[in-house]
Amino acid sequence: MEAQNLHYFEKAPIAKAVAHFAVPMMLGTSMSVIYSILNAFFLGTLHNTAILTALALTLPLFAAIMALGNLIGIGSGAFISRLLGEKKYDHVKHVSSFAFYSSLLLGLIVLAVGLPLIDPIVHGLGATAGAFGFTKDYVTVMLIGSPIVVLFFTLENIVRSEGAAITSMVGMILSVAVNIILDALVIFVFHGGVIGVASATVVSNLVASAFYAWHMGFKSQFLTVSAKWFKVSKDIVSNVFKIGVPVFIMSVFLGAMSLIFNHYLVDYGEQAVAGYGISSRLLQFPEFILMGLCEGVVPLIAFSFTANKLRMKHTIAFTIKTIVALAVVFGIVVYLISDHLIGMFTNDPQLIQMGSYILHVTFLSLFITGMTSLFTGIFQATAQGTAAFVMSVIQGITLIPVLYIANRMHGFHGVVWSLVIADAVAFLVGAVMLYLLRNKLQPDLDALVQ
């Protein structure tokens, strides 16, 4: 690790250190959301609601594949940052090599299991007759490219864990830039449709993964992709999966929640599904900005947990203030121009009205989801596996009964509001667990959580 990165871990002022780790992550994730929005925009130019519906229906599958990358990447990344704080540099090489090859193996397993089950998967995603073919095309390409997609999400976390936040950002932006260029080509030049757009996603992840692997192999002092450092030990597996499994479960729950949510929305027409798909992509921009902030500071929290716990406390306090400020700014903007935002993707008046309503409601929980992401990041960074596991399942466990009851009582409006209720419950549970763990994490955290 370069001395400059070590400086940000150990000595830089808190605001400057948080900015060093979080701003590149925020920029990288915001670029990913911009791509997601442009992706829907490009497909929207085809003026086919069934295609937009298929794009919304495939979100759970992408979330599941991403979950495997986060299973290895976030678990290994948090462990690597703690090891750097303890100055166990050789062990870092073993963990990074383990992460690289394990993520490829998981992706190959997805490919081998998923392709023979392609039709049941598409049916399970809730594809309607009109959207079935488009959904199947997208799912097929994503399954074929799953080893690359899993590797991309793993390596992004690994590179960031050693303090190379700018390198991590460059890889994310590289992926987005390649994706946007390829999307424009396959839609407007080659008329590739859904298959072309899905293929562009896989190729862009391949380019970014190659960049990360090059950094780990030739530029990083401690990370490596060399097979000679590959090692499977109880220490590595337990530390990686103690945090990685809750992250995986959380991602799967998010995908399952999206799947269940889509099944309920289908009863209210394709406009409801497409409206949720568009509004959720718009909501992703501020959500991913806050998520980028919270994920960006995880290496700093993890390093400080083993090296300087008082610095960890100040980092958390500063991050909370930043979440509040960003949530207020984004909330004001969305409530002023929501109709215009939805109108960028469609000229269907009913779709604009429905999408704008969903956007207004779901934006109410922006601060809550930001704080929930921070709670989860704290538990991951400090190796609190049980708390991380609870955070991974609480929202999903809450949403399912709330969704059922709200739908029965208030129909479409109840379905939409159920998301806010589930987010609020997750926030309260996370706050209580952080309070209960304050002495275990750091005695001085009393002042922070009271």
pLDDT digits (tens, 9 = 90+) for 45-64: 666 666 767 776 777 777 78
Mean of the per-residue pLDDT values for the chain? 81
**In the chain, domain spans:** 3-443
The amino acid sitting at 341 is L
CA dihedral angle for residue 11, residue 12, residue 15, residue 20, rounded to 10 degrees: -120
**408-430 residue pLDDT tens:** 888 888 888 888 888 888 899 99
Tell me the pLDDT band of 445, cut-offs 50, 70 and 90: very low
The CA–CA distances, whole Å, from 47 to 20, 41, 108, 347, 392 equal 42, 10, 35, 9, 37
Q: Of 198 and 255, which is predicted with more confidence?
A: 198
Q: Of 377 and 261, which is predicted with more confidence?
A: 377
Q: Determine if the pTM surpasses 0.95.
A: no
**162-219 residue pLDDT tens:** 878 788 889 988 988 898 888 888 888 877 777 888 888 899 999 999 999 999 988 8
Which residue blocks in 221-269 are alpha helix, DSSP H? 234-266
Tell me the pLDDT band of 355, cut-offs 50, 70 and 90: confident
| pLDDT, position 48 | 66
User: Would you say 159 and 176 are in contact if contact means Cβ atoms under 8 Å apart?
Assistant: no
One DSSP character per residue, 45-114 reads: TT--HHHHHHHHHTHHHHHHHHHHHHHHHHHHHHHHHHHHHTT-HHHHHHHHHHHHHHHHHHHHHHHHHH
* Phi, psi torsion values for 174, nearest 5 degrees: -60, -45
| pLDDT, position 447 | 41
Tell me the pLDDT band of 108, cut-offs 50, 70 and 90: very high
Which residue blocks in 117-215 are alpha helix, DSSP H? 118-124, 132-144, 146-161, 165-184, 193-214
Evaluate if residue 382 carries a pLDDT over 50.
yes
User: Would you say 240 and 72 are in contact if contact means Cβ atoms under 8 Å apart?
Assistant: yes
| pLDDT, position 255 | 64
**152-161 residue pLDDT tens:** 989 988 998 8
Where b means 16+ CB within 10 Å and e means fewer, 219-232 reads: ebebbbbeeebbee
Tell me the pLDDT band of 308, cut-offs 50, 70 and 90: confident
| pLDDT, position 450 | 44
**285-296 residue pLDDT tens:** 788 788 888 888
User: Would you say 207 and 174 are in contact if contact means Cβ atoms under 8 Å apart?
Assistant: yes
The region of weakest confidence among 198-212, 244-258, 309-323, 377-391 is 244-258
User: For a pLDDT cut of 90, what percent of the chain falls above it?
Assistant: 13
Burial class (CB in 10 A: 0-12, 13-18, 19+), 3: exposed
| pLDDT, position 449 | 46
Q: What's the whole-number mean pLDDT along residues 330-349?
A: 75
49's tokens: 């609601």
**388-407 residue pLDDT tens:** 888 877 877 887 788 888 88
**262-285 residue pLDDT tens:** 778 777 776 777 777 777 777 777
